[in-house]
Structure formats: structure tokens, C-alpha cells
Chains A and B, each alone.
Chain A
Amino acid sequence: MKKKIGITLNGKRTALEVPAHRLLLDLLRDEIGLTGTKEGCGTGDCGACTVLLNGKPVNSCLIFSGELDGADIVTIEGLKIGPELHPVQQAFIQDGGVQCGYCTSGMLMMSKALLDENPDPSDEEIRFAISGNLCRCTGYAKIVKAVQDAAAELRARR
């Protein structure tokens, strides 16, 4: 059964007709073609598919498209600020927070959500925030440092 929904995706209003049971992750990747959002498990355990739904981080593999009418969705493709990288993207590059990169999109969206709420998170708060985002490559240390550096940069810009 298809359902008509209107969403705001990365700042652009979009009208879609989708099967109501289609998962947001599959909607983004297979139907809209935004493959920056990654699929790591499909069961809400790894965080690779994290996007912002109405400003909050969610596992897009757990959200039905039928629920999305009127929703505001931001994916990794919408994280840049104009043509510039978001400070958290810049910090991940600078500090070596990226290895294979498969968890990176989800990590970045989760980090942005944290920094939107808490401009000066402690090491422990960062670790707690990203504890649902699995990374098999980095050991997290450089990711935590990147989020700290991004926080400092965002505070300096205020």
C-alpha cells in the first residue's frame, strides 16, 4: 500500500509516494539515492544509519516511511553548512577520526545532535552519546577528540 507523504529532506521540501512499510533507511538509499546513510545491521544496533529526524538522532532502519508526513530529515548529505564542511566534519578529517569510513556518517550525525544540545560536552558525555554508534576501526579515541575540537570551534564561532 502506497502512501503520499511530504517531508523536508536536507532543507528541501519533497513530496513522495512510498509503501508505508518502507524503512526510512531504504527510502533514502534505494528510492531517493542518498547512499551516504549507511546500513550496518538493519536492526537498530549499530548506529551507522543515524539521521536527524526533527532535530533528534534516530536509527533510520527503525523508522517506517508511512510515519514521516511533515517530518524534517537531515542526512549526512545535508550536514555541510553551505559549501563549507561542518566543523565536526572538518575535525574528523583533522584528528584522524576516519578509517574505513563506514560508521562515519552515523557518527557525524550523532555528534552533531550532541553538539546542538550540549555545546561543551565532557569526554564522558561524548562517549555516552556515541555509545550506540559502533566503530570497528578506530578505537574511538580520535573520534572523541574530534568531537571535542568541533565543540571548541563551534563555541569560538558564537
Chain B
Amino acid sequence: MEELTIVGKPVTRVDAQEKVTGEAVYGYDLVLPDMLYGKVLFSPKAHARIKRINSDIAKKYPGVVAVVTGKDAPWIHGEAIRDKPFLAQDKVRYIGEPVAAVAAVDEDTAQAAARLIEVEYEDLPAYLSPEDACKPGATPIHEDFASYRKMNFILPGAMPNVCEHFKLRTGDVEQGFRESDIVLEERYFVPTIQHAAMEPHSAHAQVDPATGRVTIWVANDAPFRALHEMSEALGLPQEKIRFINPLQGGGFGSKGGLKVEPVAVALAYHTNGRPVRVKFNREETFISTLTRNEAVLYIKSGVKKDGTIRAREMTIYWGGGAYAEKSPTVCIRGSLPGPGPYRIPHVKVDGYAVYTNKPVAGSFRGYGIPKVAWACEQHTDELAKRLGMDPLAFRMKNVFVDGDVSYWGERLHSVGLKETLTKAAEAIEWGKKSPNLRGLKIGKGLACIQKPTRSPTMSKAGVIVNAKGEVAVLAGTVEIGQGCSTILSQVAAEELKVPLEKVRMADLDTDVIPYDASTTSSRSTYHMGNAVRRAAIDAREKIAGIAAPMLEAKREEIAFADGKVWLKNHPEMSLTIGEVIRRKLGSEGKVRGDASYTYELAKDLDLETGHSDNASAFYMYATQAAEVAVDEETGRARVLRMSAAHDVGKAINPLNCMAQIEGGLAMGIGSALHEHLVVDDKGKVRNPSFLDYHLVTALDLPEMIPIIVECAEPEGPYGAKGLGEPGLAPTPAAIGNAVADAIGVRVYDLPLSPERIYWAIQQKKKSQAA
């Protein structure tokens, strides 16, 4: 392979300048000429029938232009399952569901008028736990579920309120348990948390009364998926809808699908062409956009005395909240590798995505893996303990290596897991016991994960080179803070051999940008990286074709470097790329390269067994290791230092990789120690503010040791895999294992709050006394 000039270098971000000067315009900043301001009336009931809505007073309120309810916006959307109305139809299913909306000349007026809308409800029984909601005889939250449109991979459950049942069947777990020397069964719980991206949600919409064309400005992480979903819901062809993406201030999974867009569009149909801006404030963002699925996990394993795992059975209830959103696919892609990255001959998994009357849950960075890892990785430590084995040695004996066939039937390659285990452990001096300080118990723990990516998916890209030698990259990948604009610019610069400063990303507008599946699932570097690389090569070859006669040379005699086309062996014979294009096509001339990358599945996941020859385009592997101190008197756990070794395939930008790992780790530490969106027994969120919902601050974090492992993926661009999500996935389990090591008793529920740890210690003392 040719030597890489810019791929692999820790260059600074191409978007940093506009962000440090305040010039960057985010969705929340966007001002449109003559726009109106929208506010929403949210449901105060977790589950109720709407008897009557009276908006007469609101409509007459001075400054109000439009008031809309479900009757005015009879549209239903949803990706995997079409179940979510733009505005509540006949009934409400969670506290925070949009019921009506107002557009007015300013936000205060819209808010005041929204409060004047009267709604009469008739209460229905509310289900606030996924296990309760799917018990035999439970009232359906969606009476018409059977008639909803669903994607072909959806397997609804036989139990009430189960919108997806994922099944994995390999071998015979009962036989596996009989063959085992030790069998252990446990229950774990992961509560609801929220994405809490620093930019709250918003959307702007406009409907052209003459053409019926709908334009939506929104910082959505998957504009083409949003376009598809909106088009299906409105019954309009995609050409009639346009999504324009301003910059996004973080999303972490909360800004895909349709969130504020439906309300903005519903209003925009009633404002005679004036655009409407709907901004959710922080509280509204907490309750009415998206949360992370809570999960109840039962896990049972059988192991032999020699330390091999014979069987593992898991039953997972994923709390979906009131609408399916992405819970079905979280259930599938989280449950599939749920038993962990281990060689196990007998495996059985049942994953259930269950409707509840809580805020909508769905995709969140990690897509199910943080929850299954919380159970599986602590359970794995407990097995090691019962075997008298070191947890690291136990894992080294059982983890997947190259050539293994996974329990879902796929032959694995490029497995960098063992190297991540070794390096993460070394970084915190695994095996060396730190002395307990007075009142503080010190412990160490680690956890590892394997994460698939959304497959099959497609990315397309365009690369345009102008007569000045400047390059524009047309890619549907959204800059959500993860650094894709830098990575994709590096890829284009590498293939065209131009300086990075010559490359810029085109603005994202579905009218002109080529299709991309989504900016999710850590898929962009791999899929869009491949597409941009191919598009840049396509442009380069076109330029070479133009340059060859100018240099009186054949294609193979031409090389590219430093923004120039060279004649090999004759370095004095060169033209800049810009000159080549100008001479042939004039000063306004452009050369465009186009390409597409699709990862195809040989066949879909088998619905009855969960088996697949290739369930994912690639897999990400990671190990994190923590050292913690627990105050036995207060139960407070503090992380002292934490390493995170991630197999990224190839670090296209090591600085950015480190930044992703550190950021993920911080989020993981928060979710381990204190994050919890508290929903009371009426279904109301009790802590929808940053005062009460504890995000990690700069003072809360330990020494973080990010480690890059590069086990190249042959299909990935330059060997790259993905990295965005795994940063937080093993974190709570690693900390949980360290806490158990410190205090000698395990905590099964997140977060690891002082109360939980305190009571675990008391329980241990009580049982020791008895």
C-alpha cells in the first residue's frame, strides 16, 4: 500500500474554528424570515382516553395564528412499527405526549395560549414496568397493534404489549446446564436514563401553499430516514419533502427518527406558508423526545471446573415506553450478542421489547450493549469467583478469537478482543492489590464487549473538485460532534493527495446530497468512509484521464501528490489539479466523482433461531478496567482511575479516537454512578432538569487512560472499524466489578448510588452475622 499522507495523523478538527468563535449555527439558533413560534400542550396523564378537547379560547388569544390537535393532523409515523401519532389521537400513552400545539407571533404568546386549551381525560390503567406490562391479562396500550404497519423483521410477541420478541437458539441449554459443574442464575436491572445532549431539541417547518412542498430544518442524525418516515406518514412522495440539516449540538441517539418534526409540520400546514419554529426547552426535551430503554435482565450460566462456559440463558425485558421508536431493533441488536463475546456451545436468549406508559425509549449510544454488558459482565465475574479464577484469566480462556464461530453462527475475523483485555488490565496494574485506606475499600474490575453495527446499510457520496483545486465532499453523514467531517475530509484529502485545508464538507440538504442510511451505530467511518474514498478515487481517475494527454503520458505514468498531478520519474513535469481542470473545462469547470458502498447480508437474521452468517458489517471490541474506592460508612463509590482499550481497526485520526473514548468513558461513569431518570408511580418524570438529573461534571471524573488497539478490518477504509458507541458500553459493568471486588458483595441494580452500596454492605454484614 502507498504511504498514507494524512490518514492516521492526529490533525485538529476541521469544524473547530467556527465552533470556538460562536459562528457555528445550530438547529436551536436558526432564525427564518417571518417565522412563527410553536409551543405544545403535553399530556399530564400516563394512560387515558381523550374525551374532549376545547381550543376555542386559545384560538381567539391575541397573536395566535394556528391551534392544532390530533384531528387536524391525522398522521401516524414510526420506523420499525408505525404507531406514533403526530399529536395524540383519541388517547394518550405517557406523560409528556404532545396533545395540541399553538403557533403564534412569539413564544410567550404561544405558551400562554397552549395553556388555555382544555382537555378532558378518562384514566386508564398505566403500566410502568416492562415485566408488569407483558403479564398475561395486561391491558393493551396499543389496542390496534395487530393492524400497525411493521417492518418484515419484526416478530411480535405472544404476550400483551410485546412489540418485538427476539429469539436466539443454539444447542440445548438444558443439556449444557446438566453438563456443568456450577450453575448460577441472577437478575440485573438498568434504569431509564436520558441522552441530555447539550443542545435541546427543535425543528423548523414550512409548507408551501402553492406547491404543497414541505421543508424541514432540523438537526436530525438521519435526514434520509427522517425523509422516508415523513413521506410515509404524510402520504407524500419524497420529492415533496426536503430536510435541511443545521449543525447538531450532540444527540447520542436522541435526534434520529422524528421528534419535534411532527409538531412543527402539523402547525406549518395551518400558517399559510409561514415557517414555524418549535423549540423544546430542557424539561420538554427530557420528557417528550427520547430516553434510553430500561432493562430487566435474567441470566443463567453453567460452567465446568476447568473454566469453560457450557451454557448461557438470558431473558431480557426492554422497557420501550409508550411507542416503539427503535426499541425493536435495540432489542434485536442488543439481545443477539447479549451473552457476551464468549465461546458458548449452548445458548438461549429471549429479548422482549415491551410497551409501557413511560416516556418513549429507544436508541442511545451503545444500542443495547451497555445494558446486556451490565448483566453479562458482572455475571461472568461471579462465575470466575465461584471457580476460584482470576476474572481476566477466565475471560482470556473463553473470549472469541479469530476464526471462532459465534453462537449466532458467524465466523469471526479481525477480533482484537484479547489485546484490549491485556492492555486495559495492564494500564491499571491488574493483579497488584492497592492497600485499603482508612474507611475506604479499594477494588479493581474489568469488563469487555463486542458490538455489532446496523447491517445491511448503504452510503453514497460525491466528491467535487473545482478549477482552483478545492474539494467539496457531499456526504449524508451528520456532524453530531463525533468528528465525521474531519475524518471524511481526511479520507478525501488522502485519495486526492491535496492538503486538508482544500477540502470542505457540503451542507446537508436531502435535495442535493446523496443518500446515506444514518449517522448511527458507529457505522459512518466504515460505510461513509468507504463511499467517500471511492468517490474521491472516481474523481481522481477522471482528473488523471484529463491530465494524461496534457502531460503526453499514459495513466499509469501519472502520480498525485501535494495537490498536483505528476509525471512519474519526471518531477519537473507537473500540473496542479486546479490547472488540469481549468485547462480542460474552464475556470468554472468541475470534476465530480460518485460512489456507493453497501454492506450486504448473505441472508436476513433467522427469526426463529437468531442465526446469521454475517449479522454485522464489522464488530467493535473493547475492554475497560476500573480502580475504585468505596467508603464503607457512606456507601459512596469513587472511581480512582479507569482505562479503556478499544479495537478501532485503524485510527484514521488518533486525536479524535482518544476524544471519542474519553467522552464515552465519562458518559459511562455517569450512568454507572448516578444517572437515573426517575419516573414516579403516576408515570411522571421527577427530575427533568440538570439540577436534579446528575450529569458528570469536570470534578466527578477520575484519571482516564484511553488506549487504541488496531486490529485491521479488511473491508474497512484503511482497515477502520467504528468507535462512536462502545466508549460507554462496558463502563458500568467494569465499575460494578470493581465495587464488588472492593466490598465483597455485588450490587445488581444501576446506578451504583451510595444508598444501594450501603445497603448491600449492610446485607452482607447481616448474613455474615447469621
Which residues in A have some Cβ–Cβ distance to B below 8 Å? 29, 33-43, 45-46, 48, 75-77, 79-80, 85, 89, 92-94, 96, 98-105, 108, 126-128, 130-144
> At the interface with chain A, which of B116-124, B617-625, B662-670, B739-747?
B662-670
Q: Report whether B662 and A35 are in contact in the complex, using a CB–CB cutoff of 8 Å.
A: no
Q: Report whether A141 and B704 are in contact in the complex, using a CB–CB cutoff of 8 Å.
A: yes
Tell me what chain A mostly uses at the interface: helix, strand, loop, or mixed: loop
Looking at B20, B250, B690, which has the most chain A CB atoms within 10 Å of its CB? B20
Q: Report whether B697 and A40 are in contact in the complex, using a CB–CB cutoff of 8 Å.
A: no
Q: Report whether B22 and A139 are in contact in the complex, using a CB–CB cutoff of 8 Å.
A: no
A107 to chain B, nearest CB (A): 10
Q: Report whether A105 and B22 are in contact in the complex, using a CB–CB cutoff of 8 Å.
A: yes
Cα of A134 to Cα of B663 in the assembled complex, Å: 12
Q: Report whether A34 and B199 are in contact in the complex, using a CB–CB cutoff of 8 Å.
A: no
Contacts of A140 in B (CB 8 A): 666, 697-698, 701
Q: Can you list the 5 inter-chain pairs with the closest CB atoms, starting with the nearest?
A: A36-B22, A100-B481, A102-B249, A101-B19, A139-B666
Tell me what chain B mostly uses at the interface: helix, strand, loop, or mixed: loop
Is B282 interfacial (CB 8 A cutoff)?
yes
Number of B interface residues, CB 8 Å? 53
If the complex has contacts A42-B282, A89-B21, A94-B12, are A138 and B666 also in contact, measured as CB distance less than 8 A? yes
Contacts of B425 in A (CB 8 A): none
Q: Report whether B22 and A100 are in contact in the complex, using a CB–CB cutoff of 8 Å.
A: no
Contacts of A76 in B (CB 8 A): 21-22
Q: Which of B195-252 contact A (CB under 8 A)?
A: 195-200, 247-250, 252
Is B24 interfacial (CB 8 A cutoff)?
yes
Q: Report whether A130 and B198 are in contact in the complex, using a CB–CB cutoff of 8 Å.
A: no
Q: Report whether B249 and A75 are in contact in the complex, using a CB–CB cutoff of 8 Å.
A: no
Which residues in B have some Cβ–Cβ distance to A below 8 Å? 12-13, 15-17, 19-26, 28-29, 31, 195-200, 247-250, 252, 281-282, 480-483, 655-656, 658-659, 662-667, 689-691, 695-699, 701, 704
Contacts beyond the supplied A135-B198, A136-B663: 20 A-B pairs with Cβ under 8 Å? A34-B22, A35-B22, A38-B29, A39-B28, A40-B690, A41-B690, A42-B282, A45-B690, A46-B282, A75-B22, A76-B21, A100-B199, A101-B481, A131-B697, A133-B698, A134-B198, A134-B690, A139-B704, A140-B701, A143-B698
Q: Which of B199, B482, B655 contacts A40 (CB 8 A)?
A: B199
Cα of A85 to Cα of B281 in the assembled complex, Å: 32
If the complex has contacts A39-B28, A127-B698, are A99 and B690 also in contact, measured as CB distance less than 8 A? no
Cα of A33 to Cα of B30 in the assembled complex, Å: 10
Contacts of B199 in A (CB 8 A): 38, 40, 100, 102
Contacts between chains A and B (CB distance < 8 A), count: 164
Q: Report whether B21 and A131 are in contact in the complex, using a CB–CB cutoff of 8 Å.
A: no
Q: Report whether B12 and A104 are in contact in the complex, using a CB–CB cutoff of 8 Å.
A: no
Q: Report whether A104 and B704 are in contact in the complex, using a CB–CB cutoff of 8 Å.
A: no
Cα of A39 to Cα of B21 in the assembled complex, Å: 16
Q: Which of A37, A39, A104, A138 contacts B659 (CB 8 A)?
A: A138
Contacts of B662 in A (CB 8 A): 138-139, 141-142
Contacts of B690 in A (CB 8 A): 40-41, 43, 45-46, 134
Contacts of A43 in B (CB 8 A): 282, 689-691
Cα of A139 to Cα of B639 in the assembled complex, Å: 14
If the complex has contacts A40-B200, A41-B689, A42-B281, are A102 and B250 also in contact, measured as CB distance less than 8 A? yes
What residue of chain A has the Cβ atom nearest to residue B12's Cβ?
A93
If the complex has contacts A48-B198, A93-B13, are A98 and B19 also in contact, measured as CB distance less than 8 A? yes
If the complex has contacts A42-B282, A127-B699, A141-B701, are A36 and B21 also in contact, measured as CB distance less than 8 A? yes
Q: Report whether B689 and A45 are in contact in the complex, using a CB–CB cutoff of 8 Å.
A: yes
Could you list 30 examples of A-B contacts with CB < 8 Å? A29-B29, A35-B22, A35-B25, A38-B28, A39-B28, A40-B198, A40-B690, A41-B689, A45-B690, A45-B691, A92-B16, A93-B17, A98-B20, A99-B481, A99-B482, A100-B197, A101-B15, A101-B19, A102-B249, A102-B250, A104-B20, A127-B698, A134-B695, A136-B667, A138-B659, A138-B666, A139-B662, A139-B696, A140-B666, A141-B701
Contacts of B250 in A (CB 8 A): 99-100, 102, 136-137
Q: Report whether B21 and A41 are in contact in the complex, using a CB–CB cutoff of 8 Å.
A: no
A37 to chain B, nearest CB (A): 7
Cα of A35 to Cα of B689 in the assembled complex, Å: 23
Q: Report whether A144 and B198 are in contact in the complex, using a CB–CB cutoff of 8 Å.
A: no
If the complex has contacts A43-B282, A135-B198, A139-B662, are A100 and B17 also in contact, measured as CB distance less than 8 A? no
Q: Report whether A99 and B28 are in contact in the complex, using a CB–CB cutoff of 8 Å.
A: no
